[in-house]
Amino acid sequence: MEQALNDTGWRGSQEGWLEAAYESLLESGVDSVKILPLAKKLNLSRTSFYWFFKDREELLAGLIARWREKNTGNIIKQSEAYAESLAEAMLNVFDCWLDQNLFDSKFEFAVRSWALQSEEILFEVQKADQVRLEALKRMFVRFGYEETPADVRARTTYLVQIGYISMQSREEIAVRMKRIPEYIAIYTGQIPQQRELDRFFARHGHRPK
């Protein structure tokens, strides 16, 4: 009876199914992203799923599209944002590492873990890495760096952050904020102005002691 009611009643939404899949991916990996467990999680019938997705593969493709749009899209957006100096441009990129609304590091880790067991997802990750590196490289070129130094600095900036994510490194926010001016100086060759740091700290609700 309950099954019949679910079949004829509320079927959820595409975004709801995607959100449940996202949560399962982060909690237990891609093998846990299956239709029946998701239906139970949402208290919906299994058949409800097929109103929104053709099959599990389409759901997984939706997860990758969501990851690509958020994590890669926002790195590109932040690298292209207005800045008076290269140091400030790098601080715009650093917004990604501190604001989960811009860049979801747990999602990033889950997708990279998924890539260890799927050549298709590995290709997606490698493609995303290249797109992100190119965006950072363009940022350095915009502020006067030649191609090769811009490429090396972009790689240094990006690969350190991916290392943080892959190692699941955890820092207290005060410690991380204290290190940021040094990171900016190393990555860009410029010492950030205090007004640039003040704006950065303010938008992340941080008050240096």
| 100-125 tens-digit pLDDT | 999 999 999 999 999 999 999 999 99
What are the φ and ψ backbone dihedral angles of 27, each rounded to 5 degrees?
A: -75, -45
Q: What is the pLDDT of residue 67?
A: 98
Q: What is the pLDDT of residue 111?
A: 98
**Can you give the pTM of this predicted structure?**
0.91
Straight-line distance from the first to the last Cα atom of the chain, in angstroms, rounded to the nearest whole number: 62
Q: What is the pLDDT of residue 10?
A: 59
pLDDT < 70 positions in the chain: 1-10
| CB-based contacts of 155, cutoff 8 Å, min separation 6 | 133
Q: What would the two tokens of residue 151 be?
A: 């490429």
Q: What is the pLDDT of residue 130?
A: 98
Q: What is the pLDDT of residue 37?
A: 96
| CB-based contacts of 32, cutoff 8 Å, min separation 6 | 24, 25
